[in-house]
Amino acid sequence: MPVRYELHLAPDLGAATFRGSCAIELDVRAATAVLTCNAVELEIDGAWVEVDGRRVGVRAVELDEEAERAAFTLAEELAPGSATLHAEFRGVLNDKLRGFYRSTFTDAEGVEQVIATTQFEATDARRAFPCWDEPAHKAVFAITLEVDRDLFAVSNAAQLTRIPSPEHLGRDVVRFADTMVMSTYLVAFVVGPLEATDPVDVDGTPLRVVYPRGKGHLTGYALEVGAFCLRHFADYYGIAYPGDKLDLVAVPDFAFGAMENLGCVTFREVLLLVDPATTTQSELLNVTDVVNHELAHMWFGDLVTMKWWNGIWLNEAFATFMEMHATDAFRPEWERWVTFGLARSAALDTDALSSTRPVEYPVVSPADAEGMFDILTYEKGAGVVRMLEQYLGEEEFRDGIRAYLAANAHGTTETTDLWDAIEEATDQPVRRIMDSWIFQGGFPLVTVDLVGDGTTLRLAQRRFGYAGDLGEGEPVGVEPEGEASWAVPLIFSQRSTTDGVVTFEKVLLDRPSVDIDLVEPVEWVLVNTEGTGFYRVRYAPDLFAALVAHAQSDLSPIERYGLVDDTWAQVLSGETTAHDFLALAEAFVEETDLSVWQRLVAGLGVIDRLVEDEARDALRERVRALLRPAHDRLGPVPVAEESDRERALRGVLFEALGVLGRDELVLERAHALLDDPTADPALAAASVNVVAARGDEADFDRFVARMKAASTPQEEQRYLGALADFPDPELMRRVLAMSITDEVRTQNAPLLLRRALTNRDHGELAWFFVTDEWDTVNSRFPSNSIARLLEGIRSLSKPSVAPEVFVFFEDHEVPQGDKILAQHLERLEVNVALRDRESQALTDELIRHRYDH
C-alpha cells in the first residue's frame, strides 16, 4: 500500500521530454520479493528499495505495456512493515492530451509557447510516474518540479520554496507542500509561460486563476464565481475546503472540459477565461457551471472518493447536480433548474433506446471507465439525484449528504454508502428507490387517466421506447413489459374546480399502477410537478387538452417545457405526428420562457430536415408566423429592465427566424450586427450562425480570419463552429480538410466534425471524410473525443447515407466508447424510421394546410 509519494519531475519543454524520480513510501502488508505497480510509456533507468535505512537492490524491472504495469524484482524478500521504493525514469511529453503532455499557444508577439501539463483521470497518472494507479490507493503527494527559471509552475498544494537548481544552470527547483491523502488520478502539475492573478482570500483559502501570459483581463469572472462557490459548498457540505489553496488553471489544449485536481483544477480556456461584456448568457452559464462542477468535486470526489471506477458515475452525477445547485444560488434569475430540462431531455432521449445501459455497471478495464463518460452518467445521473432530492425535501437530503461526507472524509466509498446515509437521515426507502434507477437501463412512461366518476386518478408505468427502433437484443436489465420496473418518486398537482386552488402531492409509484382518490373534482392534473422526475408522462386526451389550455396561466415554465418535450418524444415514438407537434407549437405562440422556446425550436429544426421545396417553404412561413410575435414582443434590442434570460431568448428567436424561418430582414440585420462591435452578445452570437447558414465563400473567409484574430475564446469558438454550417459543398470540403491540420486544435476538431456531420445538406460529405480519414482521426484526436465526434451520425438519416453508416461500423470499432457508439447508431435508426414515417405525410399536411389558410 502506498503511503506517501515524493515525486521529482523535470520537464524539458523544448525537447518535449521529462525526467523524474520517485520515492514511494510503502506499507508492506505481506512478505514479497516483487513490487508491482502501474507504469506505461515510461523508461525506468534505475530502482532500489530502502528498508530501515538499508538499500535493497532491484534485480529486474519488467514493463508490461499491455497491462500497463511495472514489476520490480528485489534482491531479497521484504518483510511486512515500511519500505520505500525509489525509481528514476524518463518519458515523452506527448501530444495526446493525457498523462504528462505538451500544450502550445501563440503569444501576442506571434511566438509559439509551450506548456507541460497533466490529465490523469481515469488511468493516466501511470504515464507520468510509476504508481498504484487506483482510486482506493490514496496517499500523500510531495511534489517537486525542476523548471526553466522564466517558467511558472503550479501543482496541487501550495508552493513551499523556489530556489535555483544546484545542478542545472538556468533552472529552478520548486517544492510544493504535502497534499492531503488523495487518489493518483487527482495529481496535477503545470509548467509554462503562465501567470496567476493575485490571490483572493476566500475565508482563508487563497484562490487564483492561472492563465497563459497575456490573458489576465479574462480572469475576473472566474474568480467571482469561484469565490462564491467555495463558500456555497463549504456551507452546504458543512465542511471547510479540504485543500491549502485553490488555483483554476486555463490550459490551451485540453481533452475534457475541466478536471477536478485537488487545488489545481484545469480547464479548457473557453470554460474559464471570459469577458462578460462580450459574452452571451449561455457562454457565461457554461463557465459558471464548469467552475461550480469542479469545485463541487473538491469534497465529493476528492475528499470522499469512489472505491473503484464503477462509482465514477456517482462522482460525476453528483457534481453535476451540485453544479446546478450552486449556479442557482449564484444567479437565481438564470433559472438553472429550468435550463436543466434540456439536458435531462437529452438523457431521456438516449435512455429510451434499447442499447441504453444501467447508470452503474461493473468496470474492469480503462476502456470500461472511459465509456462511462457519457450523457447517462452526467445527465441521467444528475436527473435521478434531483428527483430524489425533491421527493425527500432539500434539507433532509442535504443532511444525508453531510453525514455521508463527514463519515467518509479522506476515505473511499461505494454507491450504496450514500443511499444508506440518506436513508438514515430521512427514514425513506432510498436504497430501494435508487437501485431501480441505477441498476437497470431505461425509464418509465407514466400514463395518466381519470377513472370512475372522474375523481380517481389512475397512474400506471411501463417502459418508454421509440418506434422503428430496430435495436437488437433485449433492453438491458429491464423487466418484461407491463411489470412495474421503477420505484417512481412522483409529485403531481391538481387545480380544484371548486375553489381554483392548486395543490400538490407526493406518491411513490412502485407498482404497475395505482389509483388515487382526489378529494375534489379537478380542472386539470399535472404529473411531474416542477418537472423534477426522470420519466415521461402521457395523459388521456381530455387531460392533455386541459393542460394545454391552462399552460400559460397555470403551469410553470418547466412544466410547460415538459408538455412540449413529452409530445416531441411521442413524435419519435410514433404516437403523435410531426404535424401535430407543429400544431402544439403554434398553441405556444404566447410563450415567454427561454427553455420552452429552445425546445420548440429544436423540434422545428428536426422537422425542417424532413421536407423539401414547397413543403419547406410552407414550414418556413409557419415558423416565421410563430416566432415573429415572440421576437417582436421583446423588441429588436435589449432594454434596461429585461432579464438575462429574456436577452438570451431574443438571440434564440432571432437565430431561429434567420436559420429555420429564412427571414430576409433577419439575414440582412445579422450581416450588419457582425460588423457592429457594440452589438448585444446574444444577437452577435446568433448572427454568426444566421450568416453561416446562408453564407458564401467571402463569408467563410471572413469567418476563418475572425476565428484566428478572436479576442476571446468564446468568439473563437463561435466562428470556428459556424464553419461547419455553410450550405456550399466546396466550403464543407474546406472545413473538413482544415479539421485535421494545425489550423484547428485537436481538442476542437472532434466537436467541429460532429457539427459538420449534422449539416443538413452536407453531413454526408463529413461522413465520407471521417471514414476516409478514420485512421488519422483515431491517431490524432484525444481518445475520449471519438465517441463524442460520432454523436453527429444520428442525423445521417437520408437513404443515401444511413446504410453506409451501419455497414461501416460492422468492421470498425471504438473500444473506448462501444456502448456510446451503439446508442448513436440506434438513435440513427430512430431518425431513419422518423423520416420514413413522416417525410411524405408531413409534406402533404404542410401543403394542404397552406391552401386551407
Residue closer to Zn ion by CB (options 44, 343) is: 343
In angstroms, give the least distance from the CB of 317 to Zn ion. 9
How many chain residues are in contact with ligand BES, going by CB under 6 A? Answer: 16
Residue with cell 445527465: 379
Query: Which amino acid, residue 27?
Result: D
* Contact pattern for ligand BES over residues 486 through 525, marking x by CB under 6 A: ----------------------------------------
Residues 106-135 that bind ligand BES (CB under 6 A): 121-122
Q: Are 156 and 186 in contact (CB under 8 A)?
A: yes
Residue closer to ligand BES by CB (options 185, 397) is: 185
**Which residues are CB-neighbours of 444 under 8 A, at least 6 positions away?**
461, 462, 463, 464, 485, 486, 488, 535, 536
Rounded Cα gap, residues 257 and 604, in angstroms? 29
CB atoms within 10 A of CB 26: 21
Residues 99-128 that bind Zn ion (CB under 5 A): none
Residue closer to ligand BES by CB (options 138, 837) is: 138
In angstroms, give the least distance from the CB of 256 to ligand BES. 3
The three-point CA angle 386-445-508 to 5° equals: 55
Instruction: Give bridge partners of residue 36 from the DSSP assignment.
Output: 71
Residue closer to ligand BES by CB (options 216, 358) is: 358
* Burial grade of 63 (CB within 10 A; 0-12, 13-18, 19 or more): middle
Binding status of residue 256 toward ligand BES by CB under 6 A? yes
Binding status of residue 680 toward Zn ion by CB under 5 A? no
Rounded Cα gap, residues 22 and 37, in angstroms? 13
Residue with cell 496517499: 139
Residue closer to ligand BES by CB (options 5, 256) is: 256
Binding status of residue 379 toward ligand BES by CB under 6 A? no
- Among 24, 157, 259, 484, indicate the residue that binds ligand BES (CB under 6 A): 259
In angstroms, give the least distance from the CB of 294 to ligand BES. 6
* Contact pattern for ligand BES over residues 277 through 296, marking x by CB under 6 A: ------------xx--xx--
Nearest to Zn ion by Cβ — which residue?
319
In angstroms, give the least distance from the CB of 291 to ligand BES. 8
Binding status of residue 258 toward ligand BES by CB under 6 A? yes
Residue closer to ligand BES by CB (options 259, 347) is: 259
Residue closer to ligand BES by CB (options 147, 262) is: 262
Binding status of residue 330 toward ligand BES by CB under 6 A? no
In angstroms, give the least distance from the CB of 787 to ligand BES. 12
Q: Are 621 and 677 in contact (CB under 8 A)?
A: no
In angstroms, give the least distance from the CB of 296 to ligand BES. 9
The candidate with the shortest Cα–Cα distance to 486, out of 388, 568, 561, is 388
Give the cell for residue 610. 424532413
Instruction: Give bridge partners of residue 175 from the DSSP assignment.
Output: 144, 161
Binding status of residue 97 toward ligand BES by CB under 6 A? no
**Which residues are CB-neighbours of 561 under 8 A, at least 6 positions away?**
338, 341, 531, 593, 595, 596, 599
Give the cell for residue 605. 429544426
Rounded Cα gap, residues 431 and 428, in angstroms? 9
Q: What is the DSSP letter of 540?
A: -
Give the cell for residue 836. 420514413
601 binds, options ligand BES, Zn ion, none, Cβ within 5 to 8 A by partner type: none
Choices 81-89, 238-246, 258-266, 711-719 (CB under 6 A): range interacting with ligand BES: 258-266
Whether omega before 122 lies within 30 degrees of 0, making that bond cis, reads: yes
Specify the pairing of strand 152-155 against strand 189-192.
antiparallel
Binding status of residue 477 toward ligand BES by CB under 6 A? no
510 binds, options ligand BES, Zn ion, none, Cβ within 5 to 8 A by partner type: none
**Which residues are CB-neighbours of 215 under 8 A, at least 6 positions away?**
250, 269, 273
Specify the pairing of strand 32-38 against strand 246-251.
unpaired
The candidate with the shortest Cα–Cα distance to 260, out of 237, 243, 239, 236, is 243
In angstroms, give the least distance from the CB of 381 to Zn ion. 10
* Contact pattern for Zn ion over residues 275 through 314, marking x by CB under 5 A: ----------------------------------------
Binding status of residue 260 toward ligand BES by CB under 6 A? yes
Residue closer to ligand BES by CB (options 290, 484) is: 290
In angstroms, give the least distance from the CB of 251 to ligand BES. 12
How many Cα atoms within 13 Å fall on the side-chain side of residue 365? 9
Residue closer to ligand BES by CB (options 325, 622) is: 325
Distances (CA, A) of 713 to 220, 269, 597: 15, 6, 27
In angstroms, give the least distance from the CB of 209 to ligand BES. 17
211 binds, options Zn ion, ligand BES, none, Cβ within 5 to 8 A by partner type: none
In angstroms, give the least distance from the CB of 301 to Zn ion. 7
Residue closer to ligand BES by CB (options 294, 399) is: 294
Give the cell for residue 559. 412544466
Q: Are 196 and 248 in contact (CB under 8 A)?
A: no
The candidate with the shortest Cα–Cα distance to 214, out of 95, 110, 287, is 110
**Which residues are CB-neighbours of 483 under 8 A, at least 6 positions away?**
512
Give the cell for residue 115. 506548456
Rounded Cα gap, residues 29 and 49, in angstroms? 16
The candidate with the shortest Cα–Cα distance to 521, out of 459, 582, 453, is 453
Q: Are 334 and 281 in contact (CB under 8 A)?
A: yes
Choices 43-51, 250-258, 470-478, 752-760 (CB under 6 A): range interacting with ligand BES: 250-258
Angle, to 10 degrees, between the axis of helix 336-351 and the axis of helix 594-608? 30
373 binds, options Zn ion, ligand BES, none, Cβ within 5 to 8 A by partner type: ligand BES
- Among 189, 211, 373, 561, indicate the residue that binds ligand BES (CB under 6 A): 373
Binding status of residue 346 toward ligand BES by CB under 6 A? no
Binding status of residue 319 toward Zn ion by CB under 5 A? yes
Binding status of residue 297 toward ligand BES by CB under 6 A? yes
Q: Are 194 and 175 in contact (CB under 8 A)?
A: no
Give the cell for residue 614. 414547397
Residue closer to ligand BES by CB (options 305, 595) is: 305
Residue closer to Zn ion by CB (options 290, 720) is: 290
Task: Give the SS3 label for residue 251.
Answer: strand
In angstroms, give the least distance from the CB of 232 to ligand BES. 16
In angstroms, give the least distance from the CB of 293 to Zn ion. 5
- Among 214, 220, 257, 411, indicate the residue that binds ligand BES (CB under 6 A): 257
- Catalytic residue chosen out of the listed positions 146, 294, 389, 423: 294
Give the cell for residue 80. 511486512
Residue closer to ligand BES by CB (options 269, 829) is: 269
Choices 141-149, 231-239, 255-263, 616-624 (CB under 6 A): range interacting with ligand BES: 255-263
Binding status of residue 316 toward Zn ion by CB under 5 A? yes
**C-alpha 766: how far from chain center:** 24
Is-catalytic flag, 294? Answer: yes
Instruction: Give bridge partners of residue 56 from the DSSP assignment.
Output: 49
122 binds, options ligand BES, Zn ion, none, Cβ within 5 to 8 A by partner type: ligand BES
289 binds, options Zn ion, ligand BES, none, Cβ within 5 to 8 A by partner type: ligand BES
Binding status of residue 9 toward ligand BES by CB under 6 A? no
Query: Which amino acid, residue 207?
Result: L
Specify the pairing of strand 502-509 against strand 488-496.
antiparallel
The binding site for Zn ion (CB under 5 A) comprises 316, 319
Q: Which residues are catalytic?
A: 294
The binding site for ligand BES (CB under 6 A) comprises 121-122, 256-260, 289-290, 293-294, 297, 316, 319, 373, 378
